[in-house]
Structure 1
Amino acid sequence: MTDPRTTDPRTEELAERLHATRERLDAARAAAGRTEEVDLVVVTKFHPLDDVIRLARLGVRDVGENRVQEAAAKAAEFETTDAGLAATLRWNMIGTIQSNKAASIARWADRVHSVHSVKVANGLDRGRARRAEETASTRELAPLPVLLQLSLDGDTSRGGVARENLHALADHVAELEHLTLAGLMVVPPLEGDPAVHFADAAEVAAGLRAAHPGATEFSAGMSGDIEDAIAAGSTCVRVGTAILGPRPVI
């Protein structure tokens, strides 16, 4: 493992790309007449822990992963490498979740964007409960913030809950002791105008907030559609390629 504390070409590359992305965010907020901050989740899936450490040293506070074993290994290794720096980072699960892996996700994730079923919610709740028991002697563990992933086109095979089932799922999550309903996440369908899809999702997010006032987060937007997402009210964008470049060949 290289030492990301020293300035190296990769750190300089990440710093430049991160700066450019933050400038895009600022410009998009200004164009939309928004003054509140928008969370930036840097999607680090398939990229090595060295890059995660570099990003943390550059001030990134949220990274996103979608493969359970990869993310768990990174989080554990980072903790042993530099516990102080690791404590500044929030791990976000952004990928589709299999119900039989939900409990293990709750052992490393600090926020989950992709809850799509009661089974997944229950698994996360059980996993968070076990994690809370393990940390009870050192600190109190807050409930795990989760977002419900909406399937805009109803094709749930790509992840997400159908909109007609969204509120029932939200009501269920709200009753779980070890989870807190944080908001809505969306990945726009492959077909159609992303701006139209985000506007549609924003209406659903508003309805969710009306029923559950604490569900204020709206996770929408990736490298190619940041501007459209922020114009629609996104409070969190998930950016990988624009910051980290192409995924490594595995």
Structure 2
Amino acid sequence: MTDRRSELAANLALVEERIASACAAAGRKREEVTLIVVTKTYPAGDVRLLYELGVRHVAENRDQDAAPKAAACSDLDLSWHFVGQLQTNKVRSVASYADVVQSVDRLKLVTALSAAAVREERELGCLIQVALDAGSGERGARGGIAPDGIEELAAALEEAPGLRLDGLMTVAPLAGPYAGRQQAAFERLMEFSSRLRAGHPAANMVSAGMSADLEEAVAAGATHVRVGTAVLGLRPRLG
């Protein structure tokens, strides 16, 4: 376990250095960017080690993995982010432990999350996942709503009991006009964020960037970066 702790500490230090350098290059303060460590496929023991090393935000993308892990770490003061595509039949479970759901991309999900949050007597932060590879009325290949659907979803979230509209999230698209152009994609997301904040000033969270492109996200103005592999190492193949 000591070896694993040392490995995680070294990886975290490198990621911290990358974020700090990106902030300096962009003329931003380091505290403007929050690191979320994506712990999917890794055990609760790693989450505990990360907590000891100062991590306070962790993310998961599959409820069947996240729920038992969150329960095993319920004594820790962590913020749990759900970042995967979310089916309505998993909403009740996710609402019991997640502090922020970053992948809200349809009205049906808003309704289900609201009912679950009220039942759990919790307030859930919600990010609208924007798909930069989706045309009007479509969903992205990796989830997310087309940009022209942002405002309708934002209005629904603001009115939904138990939910809080926190901002926007995107995953750099693999296809379409922004494929391979991460910085341009993240800058486009920031434009959507500016428009959103005009009508919803508190929705100022912008989640973008992962291990390979966190610098581009910081340069564009992201407030949160989601880093997994660079902290925890290459994931084992599933199946």
Query: Shorter-normalised TM-score: what interval?
Result: over 0.9
Q: Please name the residue that 1:23 is paired with.
A: 17
1:126 aligns with 2:115: yes
Q: Please name the residue that 2:127 is paired with.
A: 147
1:59 aligns with 2:48: no
* Distance in structure 2 (CA, Å) of the matches to 1:249 and 1:232: 32
* Distance in structure 2 (CA, Å) of the matches to 1:151 and 1:28: 25
Provide the secondary structure at the position in 1 that maps to 2:20. helix
1:149 and 1:159 in contact (8 A); partners too: yes
2:103 and 2:144 in contact (8 A); partners too: yes
1:189 aligns with 2:199: no
Q: Please name the residue that 1:137 is paired with.
A: none
Q: Please name the residue that 2:27 is paired with.
A: 33
1:47 and 1:248 in contact (8 A); partners too: no
1:93 and 1:112 in contact (8 A); partners too: yes
* CA offsets 1:69-112 (integer angstroms, 9 cap, x no match): 11001111223xxx2xx1x1111101111122222211110111
1:13 aligns with 2:7: yes
Q: Please name the residue that 1:160 is paired with.
A: 144
2:133 and 2:141 in contact (8 A); partners too: no
- For residues 84-99 of structure 1, the aligned pairs below 5 Å read 86=76, 88-99=77-88
Aligned-residue offset at 1:57: 0.8
- For residues 71-110 of structure 1, the aligned pairs below 5 Å read 71-79=66-74, 83=75, 86=76, 88-110=77-99
Provide the secondary structure at the position in 2 that maps to 1:157. coil
Aligned-residue offset at 1:159: 0.3
* Distance in structure 2 (CA, Å) of the matches to 1:121 and 1:56: 31
Aligned-residue offset at 1:249: 4.2
Aligned-residue offset at 1:185: 0.2
Ranges in structure 1 where 5+ consecutive residues have no aligned partner:
133-140
Ranges in structure 2 where 5+ consecutive residues have no aligned partner:
none
Aligned-residue offset at 1:216: 0.4
1:62 and 1:89 in contact (8 A); partners too: yes
1:39 and 1:236 in contact (8 A); partners too: yes
**Runs of 4+ residues over 3 Å off in structure 1:** none
Structure 1 range deviating more: 213-222 or 123-132: 123-132
2:128 and 2:144 in contact (8 A); partners too: yes
Aligned-residue offset at 1:20: 0.8
Query: Which amino acid is 1:31 matched to?
Result: A
2:125 and 2:163 in contact (8 A); partners too: yes
1:170 and 1:181 in contact (8 A); partners too: yes
1:103 and 1:125 in contact (8 A); partners too: no
Pick one of 198, 201, 211 that aligns with 2:186.
198
Q: Please name the residue that 2:164 is paired with.
A: 180
- For residues 217-232 of structure 1, the aligned pairs below 5 Å read 217-232=205-220
* Distance in structure 2 (CA, Å) of the matches to 1:242 and 1:182: 26
1:42 and 1:64 in contact (8 A); partners too: yes
Aligned-residue offset at 1:192: 2.9
